[in-house]
Structure 1
Amino acid sequence: MTSEQMTTDPAKAPQERVSAAVRREQILAAASGVFGERGYVGATTDQVAQAAGISQPYVVRMFGSKERLFVEVLDRALGTLLDAFRAVIAESKQAGDEQDALMTKLGAAYADLIIDRGILMSLMQGFVAGHEPAIGAKARAGFMELYTLLRNEAGFEPDLIVDFLAHGMLFNTLIAMRMIDQHDSDDPCIPELLAHTFRTKLDIVMNTVLGAPEQQATAAASRTRTTE
């Protein structure tokens, strides 16, 4: 290949300039979104490749199989969650927080993870696909690592941990069901449920899922026209 071809070939130039580590993270980030939306069964490596802006053979060459890619996506999501919680616990201990304050800060940190939309949904998809041997092993190990962190490092009692984890699963479930889309519903119980689930982070969740406030207003108007 001549130097001119290398300069003018747009398909090859980006891969030649980007390191394997950076490319790997790009694929995992794209796969996190694809698996989060479509699930393990519904997603394909071709969809991941399109989302990452690379070729499907490159994805397979780097990860070997869809299952291995999904396990690494799940591992990335769990690692991100655990790192976020450890940082909060460390800062909270330094500040001398009581357990209630620490619990609130952990919940806020969890809500902040929605900014990377694939993180929370890929966690949910990993738990749903727990019947798959390799995925189930990773999901169970990660879940118990989270439980152990809350028990040993945060110092929470088991009942408190269960309540916290149950709240987190409700958080994920409402997002997965797109309940956020129904925030302006005529049913007053929906905004009430959302407000008590997401609390001070409701605006962040809505902005991430629905877009900026002006986009939310447009979506609400569109739903109104549809029901008229």
Structure 2
Amino acid sequence: KPLYTVSPEFAPPPVQPTQQTPGKTKTHTLNLNETNTVIQQMIVMQITAFDKEIKQLAQKSKIALNDDPGIMKSYSKRLINLQEIIEQANERDFIKDVQDLRHSLTESYEMLNECRSKLETFKNPDEPGAKYLSLYDCISQRQLKGLQSYLTINQSIMKRLEEQMDIQWSYYQDLVRRNSKSQMRIPCLDGIYQQMTKLKNLITQEQTKLHYIKNIMKQKDL
């Protein structure tokens, strides 16, 4: 016999679905907003610190220029020299690129002629002698032109090196000239000292003779 009996009309109560409380979503959005606020504050702090650093550097630069106006002249001279070096480098690079392009075009043209000769040899195998000679002639011409272009490039490099050596040599001579001007030139005093010693000895001898003559004249009451 069961302990409890349930009537047939009994029905279980309906189960309500669980819903999220609006408080949790609100706190979640609050956390995101707080995070964004903190990030914005950090960005503002970094921008402020960077602005402050730039102002300090500008103030230091103004103070340095006011103390020594020659700094600006030296900086401008360095910038002008740097600009000249950059222009020369760009010009030399451009010239080298043009020479390389010419060499590549010439070599491509010679290779095209060589391919044409090979194609003619393949189409007409009955005449091998003249075709091989023309083929070797094209190859030799291409190699010769390649060597000539390399020689031209090496000559230009050698010319630039000679110019640099001349500049360095003139700079060295100028430096030696400046050092020689700054040094004190002391003449050699040995010869002058010897001549003065001889003159002093001669004067002493003459004075001795003069005293001797005076003594003799005194003795003779002259």
Q: Same fold (TM over 0.5)?
A: no
TM-score (norm 1): 0.19
Given the two structures, how large is their TM-score scaled by the length of structure 2?
0.19
> Bigger radius of gyration, 1 or 2?
2
